[in-house]
Amino acid sequence: MSSGARPPGLRLVRDPAPVLHTRAEPIRVFDAGLRRLVREMYLCCVEWHGVGLAATQVGLNRRLAVVVHEGHQFALCNPEIVQATGEVDALEGCLSLPRQAGLVRRAETVTVRYRNPQGRGVERTLSGWLARIVQHETDHLHGVLCPERLAPGAVFGAVPPEGEAADRDAAGDARASEEAAGRPAQPEALVPAAGAPGAAGD
Ligand code: ZN
């Protein structure tokens, strides 16, 4: 366990765990409890050096995920990808599959429809790393992990430990992506190269 400001109550679930392979149940009540959970998931996502976190990864069978990446921070309730175009392969990892990565094929641009934690319907079109993160998290809520999305011929396997991070837990090992340009295997979900998505906050 690493130290830090991790909120009590939420713990990272690592594979193998049935909840990671189960379709999550839709969010039906958009109340203060949901918004508190979202805030806790944001904190965990940052503390664990992820760029996204699905509720199933903290053991909750609910269709909820958060994204925290390069100035963007938003929560998706009941997300559905309603349009996907293009194809791009990139190294991807997952907080629930520590120290592993593989070349994962994703759509380049997606339109995702979801509700925000206040229950308001949102539709947005994303590309680049944000599109990849949203696809990764939406997959989680369908019980699908990124090794099931490998590019043809790719393998999902161990990443050589980086000296200083060799024996740390998922949180420690998952170095913030921006620190690791060129180093593969950033859990959840990637290794953004320079030139990842533009700014425009959320
Ligand atoms: Zn993941």
Mean pLDDT of residues grouped by 10 in the chain (202 residues)? 57 97 98 97 96 98 97 97 98 96 98 98 97 98 98 94 46 35 46 38 36
What does pTM read for this prediction? 0.81
CB half-sphere exposure, 119, CA atoms < 13 A: 7
Note the pLDDT of residue 190. Answer: 53
For residue 95, the CA-to-ligand 1 centroid distance in Å is 5
Query: What does the angle CA 27 – CA 60 – CA 196 come to, to the nearest 5 degrees?
Result: 80
The residues assigned a catalytic role are 137
For residue 141, the CA-to-ligand 1 centroid distance in Å is 10
For residue 121, the CA-to-ligand 1 centroid distance in Å is 24
List the chain domain ranges: 18-179
Domain 18-179 indexed as CATH 3.30.300.180: no
Note the pLDDT of residue 160. Answer: 77
Q: Give me the residues near ligand 1 (ion), CB cutoff below 5 Å.
A: 94, 188
